Structure 1
Amino acid sequence: MPQDSKDLRNLSEPVRFRRALTLLLMTLILPGSAQIAVGSKKAGRWAWRVLAGIFAVVVFVVVLSLIWRAGAINLMVSPTTLRFVQILLILLAIGWAALFVDAYRLGRPLTLERKHRLTFSILDGALIVLVVGALIWGSTIVSTQRDFVASVFGNGKKSDADKGRYNVLLLGGDSGTDRVGTRPDSITLASVDANTGRTVLIGLPRNMARVPFPAGTPMNKEFPEGFRWKDCAENCLLNGVYTYAAEHPALFPGDPNPGVTATMQAVEGITGLKVNYHVLIDLAGFRDLLNAVGGITLDVGKRVPIGGIGSPIKGYIEPGANQHLDGYHALWFARSRAGATDYERMTRQKCVMTAMLNQLSPQTVLVKFQGIAKASKKVVNTDIPASDLGTFTDLALDSKKLPVSSFSAVPPLIRTGNPDFELIRTKVAEAIGKSEALDKSSDDGDGKTTNTPSNPRTTTTPKKPSSTSTKPGKSSSTPSKPGNDVDDVASICKA
């Protein structure tokens, strides 16, 4: 291309206009190429070096994710990495804008006719706004993610898998004017295979009495015969452990969250499993989180009241298949007590957890990340360290491909007023053993064998139908009588 104005004037005006537009297009597609062609080759080469470095890093991360997905995720969510990416995006925005300005200069706008010069100027300005805006928006997303990771995960103490499993206690926190302190309204232990991600949900009723604590713990010394009526009267139930410990911080010197610690120890005493981490969800804010992800779709097996138990009933969630519930209705579906037992409610809560696991895709998280992060900071409290975020994200992606099984320590098998804890531990071990056997007995070793009748590869002996089973072809999120054992939560929650 001719490079000086005198040579350019020897070209026809339409050719000069096309040349100017080509320089902008080159800068958009391959920044620095316009400078290599007709401008400062040194500036163009620097731009190419930066692009080559970014491409090399992207290739490295892609290869790492194929070899070690958890490691790649840990690298990408590290606050240091995110800060570096945020600064890099801002610098790229400035540098790319400068290249567009230089490309405009190289296009020699003064040699163009007025209408072409105006078009050229507007297009250059629009491209600068588009590119800079996209990069600044990207830096904002990265900043939000960094703030989210730092706020929610922080620097908790790392806990290694126990016997090949991570056991994460999921607590739904509930507080109100009619209660003293905060009590977990929902208590579920998620036992996750550290290799396959296959998960067993262990439901524990909040009204379980006489819960034991591991030997040597402060609560065991205070209640050596279990959490009985001593100083806490009618509050001596599983969900009252949190409140008691929170009101007696002297038992846990230096512990910033004695209520959670005591509840984790109680669950260890009940199940015989080591609890690695906890996730405490504020049920009042859970609505915002569900709205942020666009709601969930559930089968509603029976009419569920909105309100009741101390407040007027405001309406109902009517029965029906494939109902899309927003945050308000999904929250009431999970926590409504009117006209239902605690055990039915536990089942509904598992349905909501399973629906979120199955329906929350990486694409949804990416598109709605800012809303999710904003809601999660208010909703979620956890001691999972940021360094383990990649491990659990990796396991969550694997678990989406597999059925979730369940055991609930509820009647008729377990009497919550006088529980047989040895029986509970035995049943928990059986549920986990049955889950692990699915991977060991898989014909192709892919860990995707289920023990539902429709899968011919399973070697699990079919269970006899119980009074809690749903009829073939029917899926109910609220069975009339809760089952203790469910080999696939999807069999009662088609989500």
Structure 2
Amino acid sequence: MSAFAMRRAAPAPPSAAGTPLRDPDVLDERMMTRRGVWLTVLHLLIPGSAQALAGDRRFGRLALGVWLAGAIALVAAAVLWFVLPQLLLTLPTNAVGLTVVQLLLAAWAVWWLVLTVDTLRLLRLVRVAPLARGLLGAVLAVALVLGLGGAGWGAWAAGVARGTIGTVFGSGRYAMPADGRYNIMLLGGDAGAGRLGLRPDSISVISLDALTGDMVTFGLPRDLDPIPFSAGSPMLAKYPDGYGAHGRCNVDVCQLNSIYTEVELKDPQLYPEAKAQHSRPGIEATRDAVEGALGIPIQYYVLVDMGSFEHLIDALGGVTIDVKQRLPIGGGVAADGTPTGVKVWIEPGKQHLNGNRALWYARSRHGIGNSDYKRMARQRELQQAILRQVNPLTVLTRFERVAKAGSKTVDTDIPQGLLGEFAGLAVKTRGQKTKTIEFVPPDYPQGHPDYERIHAVVQKALR
């Protein structure tokens, strides 16, 4: 017989219709058990493959197509995370994107339910070995619960995040980077006992390179006097020589952090568009003063309520601080400046602080060698420690508490549409060294400061 004839006489490979997966011998318990294991594993690894091999082929191909599209999307997301994280983070940081996430998760939950139930049908559990019957059924049941539970939790978390973003972030103006940088004014507000209105005790500016995420932080003391205003500011017409010059202001103390209180309580009409821009007159006046002091434009602000900060820290599980100086919790102060009546102290060294102790760390005014400048520096240190130590696992496991505390702690005019941009820059920033410049005594006197020198230092740091 010729080779050609032998090839023609050789039996053809079995078709899909004749494979044990599609047409099994239902009386062979051992074979049915192996088949059940294979279909279960295939369903868990490649959803839809069980249907393509043992069920409705058309349905299986559709399911495989969905799985393939999802796998491609995950690979693309992984690439974007390293190449352009801003674009990837845009989806989960705005209301529209979170709505899309909710709908996709709901659709995936229904799809997973249908595929898992159909896979269970294909197994024909009554034909497999008794021990394997219970094991395979349990595996599919656990997979079903985990899949539906995970999708349900994700949809719920997306809804909570959408509500928080809608509360904290508005849909205000979009500002372009100035000389390639976003400059964000960070205020630590404190409406302490005996004060009329909130007064920002901690004032700093975070400057971010819009491409690289390079970050420089400038700290300003609250008691600068006098303070210039940027060109075009309504406060410039009122205080042409600077706020506090010649003792002129409209509150009891003429210094940088008094500007907020004065404008909020006595001159809110100077900034009639503030509310529409998701801001306040006092914040806009403070922004004009900080622009004048540093010589750079400020695109956005973030106000952190130090009173509510305690709840945010507790929601995040505390914060670790390298304490440099022994600080009192409570008590008073003697005539020579030493603390009295103190029962609890924050000791030097690395300390994991809960919300209450962290707030005392930021607010404590007493203690040997303590000062307003050190207290303001500690407030900035606390804010930066929170930003550095927040991790995805903490946020996921405490999501609702973090979201609820955050909505009460943070106020800002950063629009929702830029959250992805800033989140991506934050990812880049965490892998770099940051520079901090404090314009505080003795190098920079708070009385009649040399603003030309400050402007030059700012420009050199940004270059």
TM-score (normalizing by structure 2): 0.84
CA distance change for structure 1 residues 402 and 30 in 2, over 3 Å: closer, same or farther? closer
| 8 Å contact from structure 1 (residues 407, 428) kept in 2 | no
Map of 1:483 onto structure 2: none
Is residue 340 of structure 2 the alignment partner of residue 317 of structure 1?
no
Is residue 253 of structure 2 the alignment partner of residue 235 of structure 1?
yes
Residue aligned with 2:187, SS: strand
Which of these residues, 58, 68, 73, is aligned with residue 89 of structure 2?
73
TM superposition shift of 1:105: 1.5
| 8 Å contact from structure 1 (residues 308, 337) kept in 2 | no
Which of these residues, 285, 299, 324, is aligned with residue 308 of structure 2?
285
Letter in 2 for 1:255: A
Which of these residues, 258, 264, 269, is aligned with residue 292 of structure 2?
269
Q: Deviations along 1:127-169, whole A, 9 cap, x unmatched?
A: 2112211222222333333333333223131111212322111
Map of 2:454 onto structure 1: 427
> Within 1, Cα distance between the matches of 2:456 and 2:428?
22
Letter in 2 for 1:386: Q
Map of 1:10 onto structure 2: 27
Which of these residues, 164, 167, 171, is aligned with residue 180 of structure 2?
164
> Within 1, Cα distance between the matches of 2:461 and 2:272?
40
> Within 1, Cα distance between the matches of 2:203 and 2:185?
7
> Within 1, Cα distance between the matches of 2:22 and 2:83?
52
**Where does structure 2 lack aligned partners over 5 or more consecutive residues?**
1-18, 334-339
Which of these residues, 378, 382, 390, is aligned with residue 352 of structure 1?
382
Letter in 2 for 1:217: S
> Within 2, Cα distance between the matches of 1:112 and 1:434?
72
Residue aligned with 1:170, SS: strand
> Within 1, Cα distance between the matches of 2:230 and 2:173?
20
> Within 2, Cα distance between the matches of 1:397 and 1:60?
18
Residue aligned with 2:298, SS: coil
> Within 2, Cα distance between the matches of 1:288 and 1:251?
34
Map of 2:158 onto structure 1: 142
Matches within 5 A, 1:58-457: 58-112=74-128, 117-228=133-244, 229=247, 232-247=250-265, 248-256=267-275, 257-308=280-331, 313=342, 315-320=344-349, 322-339=350-367, 340-361=370-391, 364-365=394-395, 368-416=398-446, 418-420=447-449, 423-434=450-461, 436=463
TM superposition shift of 1:279: 0.5
Residue aligned with 1:171, SS: strand
TM superposition shift of 1:317: 0.4
Map of 2:69 onto structure 1: 53
> Within 1, Cα distance between the matches of 2:378 and 2:22?
75
| 8 Å contact from structure 2 (residues 22, 54) kept in 1 | no
Residue aligned with 1:234, SS: coil
> Within 1, Cα distance between the matches of 2:225 and 2:401?
39
Map of 1:471 onto structure 2: none
| 8 Å contact from structure 1 (residues 202, 428) kept in 2 | no
Give 1 or 2 for the bigger CA radius of gyration.
Answer: 2
Q: Deviations along 1:2-34, whole A, 9 cap, x unmatched?
A: 5799x64431x3432343343233222211111
Residue aligned with 1:187, SS: strand
Q: Deviations along 1:450-490, whole A, 9 cap, x unmatched?
A: xxxxxxxxxxxxxxxxxxxxxxxxxxxxxxxxxxxxxxxxx
CA distance change for structure 1 residues 193 and 209 in 2, over 3 Å: closer, same or farther? same
Letter in 1 for 2:345: Y
TM superposition shift of 1:280: 0.3
| 8 Å contact from structure 2 (residues 319, 385) kept in 1 | yes
Residue aligned with 1:226, SS: coil
CA distance change for structure 1 residues 136 and 427 in 2, over 3 Å: closer, same or farther? same
TM-score (normalizing by structure 1): 0.79
Letter in 1 for 2:441: P
TM superposition shift of 1:275: 0.8
| 8 Å contact from structure 1 (residues 307, 338) kept in 2 | no
> Within 2, Cα distance between the matches of 1:345 and 1:220?
30
**Where does structure 1 lack aligned partners over 5 or more consecutive residues?**
437-495
Residue aligned with 2:163, SS: helix
Map of 1:472 onto structure 2: none
> Within 2, Cα distance between the matches of 1:3 and 1:360?
49
| 8 Å contact from structure 1 (residues 285, 378) kept in 2 | yes
**Aligned residue pairs, count:** 430
Q: Deviations along 1:326-370, whole A, 9 cap, x unmatched?
A: 332222212211232111112222332443344334565556554
> Within 2, Cα distance between the matches of 1:168 and 1:235?
26
TM superposition shift of 1:267: 0.8
TM superposition shift of 1:49: 1.5
Letter in 1 for 2:344: G
Q: Deviations along 1:50-105, whole A, 9 cap, x unmatched?
A: 11222232333333344433223224434322221221111111111111111122
| 8 Å contact from structure 2 (residues 183, 297) kept in 1 | yes
Residue aligned with 1:173, SS: strand
